Copies of this chain bind each other. A is one copy, B any other.
Amino acid sequence: MKARRQSVILETIQRQRVGSQEQLRRLLRAAGFDVTQATLSRDIRELGLVKGGADRAYQPPAAAATNGNPSALLNRAVGEYLTRVDRVQQLVILRTGPGQAPLLGVALDGARLPELVGTIAGDDTILAIAPDARRARVLVRRLERLSRP
């Protein structure tokens, strides 16, 4: 349950201003996830979300992680979620556990890798698109290096 719920949280805070965990709780309940505020507090920490700014809303972690190591987030996400990598021409297929694909997708997008044009995340699969086959190979190598340092 957790991975799916966290994915929905990520999408939710990007679609609208979420100013409290109670509000988030109501939104999630409408989406079929009925959990307590305590659980959301834990989810928010695990996702690395950040609260503040002019409107005191929750924000995605990508920006915040940019501080120290730019790809620390990607690093963590790859280690945590990625289970398999394949390549077909300039396309790279990434596999994760169920519901985890969006989490890894966000991390990939946020890392702004030069050899990555964009991603489409399903439930447990991500299609990552490189400019050409050569750079797709570079991407595969980079991911493999990240997944076992």
Which of these binds chain B: A31-39, A55-63, A85-93?
A55-63
A83–B45 alpha-carbon span in the complex (Å): 41
Please, how many angstroms separate the alpha-carbon atoms of A63 and B49 in the complex?
13
* Bound: A56/B41 CA distance, A: 11
For A, the interface residue count at a CB cutoff of 8 angstroms equals 19
Closest B residue to A66 using CB positions: B63
Q: Quick one: CB contact mask for A40-74 with B, threshold 8 Å, 1 for yes? A: 00001100111111101011110111110000000
Could you say how many copies of this chain the assembly holds?
A: 2
Contact among B52, B58, B65 with A48 in the assembled complex (CB-CB below 8 Å): B52
- Distance between Cα atoms of A86 and B30 in the complex (Å): 57
Contact assessment for A50 and B48 in the assembled complex, using a CB-CB cutoff below 8 Å: no
Taking a contact as CB atoms under 8 Å apart, the answer to whether B53 and A48 are in contact is: yes
Complex CA–CA separation, A26 to B127 (angstroms) = 50
> In the docked arrangement, what's the CA distance between A59 and B76, Å?
20
A67 and B63 alpha carbons, distance in the complex (Å): 7
- Does B61 lie within 8 Å of A50, measured CB to CB? no
Q: Is B56 a contact of A64 with CB atoms below 8 Å? A: no
- What are 13 A-B contacts with C-beta separation under 8 Å? A44-B52, A45-B52, A45-B54, A49-B52, A50-B51, A51-B52, A52-B52, A52-B58, A52-B61, A52-B64, A53-B61, A63-B63, A63-B67
